[in-house]
Every structure is written in C-alpha cells, then in structure tokens.
Amino acid sequence: MLLSLLFWTLSLADSTAKPSAVADTVQRDYWVVRSVHIHGNHRTRERIILRELEVKAGDTIQRPQLTEKLAWDQRKVTNTNLFITVDVTAKEVSANEIDIEINLKERWYVFVIPIFDLADRNFNEWWYERGRSFRRTIYGARLNYKNVTGNADKINAIFEFGFTRRTQVVYSLPYIDKAQKTGISFGASYQTNKEVAYRSAFDKLVYFRSEDLMRDRFFTNVILTRRNQFYNFHRLELRLVRNAIADTVAKLNPDYFLNGQTRQRYFLLSYLFTHDRRDAVAYPLRGHYLNLTANQYGLLPSDNVRLFEVMASYTRYWPLGGASPGAKFYASNSVRGKLSWPERQPYTNLRGLGYLSDFVRGYELYVIDGQRYGLVRNTLKYQLLNVRKHIRWMPMKQFNTLPLALYVSLFGDMGYVNSTLAQEYNSRLANSWLYGGGVALDVATFYNIVGRISYSVNRQGQTGVFFNFTYDL
C-alpha cells in the first residue's frame, strides 16, 4: 500500500545523477572555468541557480578539488527543491579550460492537493489508541505553488474541515535584495476545534469533546531570513498569537492557560540558526545538520504568557567504508535537547518528547511532557536499491522520471525528560531514562516522499509495528 501511494504522489528532489569531472587524459595542476551554461530552467531565473554555485566563471580550480566542488554544487541546486533532476558536469574546451554544464529538469510547481489527514499526532496513535475512528480525520484542500515568479518564492494555502477547521495562507520570497542574502515571509492562520487534548495522564493525551466550540487559535507573523554563506541560514520571526478556550476546558485543567484563564494573547520573538550541509534534505546520507533555536513568548507587559526556551539539535550522516560513491552502508547520529523557563508553564506550551519528530523510537504512542529533555538517535542502514527510471508512457516531463531507493536499517535511541509536573500529570516515563530500538524499511521516491515501516521495542518491553510518511510537494 505504501509503495502504491508513493507511485501516485510526487518526487524526491535528490534523484540526481553523479556529477562527472573532466576525463583525466593529460595531467594538469589546475583548470580555469571559462563559462557556466545552464539548460532546462524554463521558469526558474538563472540567478537563483547561480546563487547556489561555488564554482563560477573565471575561477581557477585545482584538479583534485574539481569533482568534490561539482558534487557539492549539484547537491545545493538539488536542495532548492525546484528540480526533479540536476546534472552538473565539466567539459574540457582547451588545454587548461573547462565549461561547466548544468542540465536541469524542472518540477511541476502547482499542486492543489486533496487533504485527508489524521487529527492525532501520528498514524500510530490513531491506529492503536483512538480506535481507528474516521471521526478523527481532517479533509479539505491544500494549494502549494512553488516558484511563483521564477524566484523560488512560494504560496501555501490550507483549507481544512472535519476534526479541525483551519484556514492558513503563507507567502515567502527567499531573496529581496540584489545580493540574494535577505528574504521575507508573512502569513496568517485561524483554527477551531470541538475536541481538545486538555491534559496528559499516564503519558497519554486526554481529550474532551463537545458539540460547542472548545478552542480557537489565530496567529499572524512576519519572518526575515538571512543567508550570508552557502550553508548558514538565519531566521527571525515576530508572531502575534491569540488563543481562546471554552470555560469547560479551563475547569477541566486550570493550568491549560494557567490560573483558569480562557484567553491567551502574546507576541512571540523567535530566532533560528541553521547550518545545513546535507547531501539531500529529504533523505540525507552524507553531511551534517545543526539547528539552534531561541523563543521568547511574551514581549509586552500586557502579554499574558512569559516563557523562554532554547532548543538545539545536531545530526551527522556518513558512509561506512570510505567516501566511495558506491557505498552501501550508512550511519547517522543525532543529538537534540530543550531547556525552558520558568518551571510553571501553561499546559498548551509544555512540550517534551512525543511531538512532531522529537520522540524515542519505540515510544510513538506516548507523550512525555516536561520543561527539559534530551534525545540521542543512532541509525545504521544498508542500501537495497537505488535506481532512476524513465517512464516512457508518461507525457509530462515533470513526472516521467521515477527515482526509487530502498534501505533497511537498525536503530537505537535514548531519551530523558525532566519534569517538575510528573506527579501532577501521573507520568510514569518522565524523570527516567527511555530506551528504544528496532529495525525499519525506508522507501524514498520523487517529490521528497519518504515512507517508513518499523518494528521496535522499548525499555518497558513493549513492541509494535509503526508507520511514518512524509512528503514535500
């Protein structure tokens, strides 16, 4: 079923051919880049592609460095997620001169995607804990319009109904200056719920449902981005947040907003630094990734939330047995952590392990709330298959190249959540070490689609089969 979903959806941008350097016919110490030629960018402006290149016309490059430089430039262009395939080659034109040839196949940029999603944290919680109820589903439509003007800008709009009603619109432009270093994004979102997880108990979310509106959320924001270097990204966000809950929710958990309040209003100032040198964003096998975040909730005296948190994560990916292009074994190690103050926080802002991608594998069914946590993940994987096929019967060139990669992996994770509220929320897993491990099968295909099925066991001896699915159309 997973493979059929992948074939009907759309494409991992990391489906590029290996870059080729110049044939080594005559030994020379260096090459001079005479020119750079770009082919296939029908919509994308040339300057967006040139922005990603370290190799430029007029450069002098030592022969041993050429292949590596071309490989990293190819990866950077691929990671813009604007192209299905990217091929970067060097062509000898004289005794010591080369031309750089960049051949691209652009993605399909406009998707109106029907939404049929689950309201729970993940598929596994819905399947095992919520009775597989279709009442807990979200339906609607999503507009993803990339490369609107050819400047790598994006419009994202979401219209959701069902368990959650949400309307959200975001526009982002990566570069607004001539130097192509500063970008901007702005958006707004409004969401309502008739069923709310008002607390956790025994490390599971506890819900209350009514036919009346139980919660509504609104935010609007503006984001400035800065990219001074190829691999370093700065992001500064100012967000205005307004949340409200029904009296019933405040009575069930007076700490939901603290002190039995039914309304929240505050400004959020967030700073994010990212150093990203992965070979592929969707499914990396080489490189490293660093993420540092600082969030200040509450800027004005009138704001009724006052909270500060810092988060950090570092992940390294590497092939085993050397850097050979034909490597089959790969490993990765990830370290993540969070600190937050003060000790007493609104429940809606209190987040430990079990949310989004921060969880110990083997504990997918649990949420462990707390003010601080640490997480270590280790993975060893073997490449079963990595092919790129041309689908002859598909007339649209944006969809007629199918990359497909299969990996089997072993993993082992360790985590810890520090909470001063463990007794209040009857947590059995907070303030104790968490261990989990298992085996998984990963499927990666086009338009950044990655599916995973895993079997894992945790410290408590609990086992399970879990599914994960991500995409970036």
- For residues 413 and 437, the answer to whether their CB atoms sit within 8 Å is yes
3-state SS, 151-172, equals CCCEEEEEEEEECEEEEEEEEE
- Cα gap 456→435, rounded to integer Å: 10
- For residues 402 and 85, the answer to whether their CB atoms sit within 8 Å is no
- For residues 379 and 399, the answer to whether their CB atoms sit within 8 Å is no
The residues of the chain that CATH labels 3.10.20.310 are 19-106
Q: Which CATH architecture has domain 110-146+153-470?
A: Beta Barrel (2.40)
pTM of the model: 0.82
3-state secondary structure (DSSP) of residue 131: coil
Strand partners, 37: 101
- Cα gap 295→467, rounded to integer Å: 31
Q: What are phi and psi of 406, to 5 degrees?
A: -125, 135
The residues of the chain that CATH labels 2.40.160.50 are 110-146+153-470
Cβ within 8 Å of residue 414, ≥6 positions away: 360, 375, 376, 433, 434, 435
Cβ within 8 Å of residue 350, ≥6 positions away: 369, 370, 371, 421
- Cα gap 434→429, rounded to integer Å: 7
Residues 346-376: tens digit of each pLDDT: 999 999 999 988 999 999 989 999 999 999 9
- Encode the chain (473 residues) as per-residue pLDDT tens digits: 333 433 333 333 343 444 544 444 455 688 999 999 999 999 999 999 999 999 999 899 998 889 899 999 999 999 899 998 899 999 988 888 999 999 999 999 999 988 877 777 777 777 777 777 777 788 899 999 999 999 999 999 999 988 889 999 999 999 999 889 999 999 999 999 988 999 999 999 999 988 889 999 999 999 999 999 889 999 999 999 999 999 999 999 999 999 999 999 999 999 999 999 998 888 899 999 999 999 999 999 999 999 999 999 999 999 997 666 678 999 999 999 999 999 999 999 999 999 988 999 999 989 999 999 999 999 999 999 988 787 777 766 666 777 889 999 999 999 999 999 999 999 999 999 999 999 999 998 866 788 899 999 999 999 988 888 776 54
Question: Quick one: how far is CA 240 from the chain centroid?
Answer: 23
Cβ within 8 Å of residue 70, ≥6 positions away: 19, 20, 21, 55, 88, 89, 90, 100
Looking up tokens 């039995």 gives 260
Question: b/e string for 384-417 if b means 16 or more Cβ within 10 A?
Answer: eeeebeeeeeeeeebbebbbbbbbebebbbbbbb
Q: Which CATH architecture has domain 19-106?
A: Roll (3.10)
Distances (CA, A) of 459 to 99, 140, 356, 357: 57, 39, 21, 19
Q: Quick one: which of 402, 344, 352, 396 has its CA closest to 373?
A: 352
Strand partners, 102: 38, 88
As to burial, measured by CB atoms within 10 angstroms (0-12 exposed, 13-18 middle, 19+ buried), residue 63 is middle
What integer pLDDT is reported at residue 6 of this predicted model? 36
- For residues 120 and 138, the answer to whether their CB atoms sit within 8 Å is no
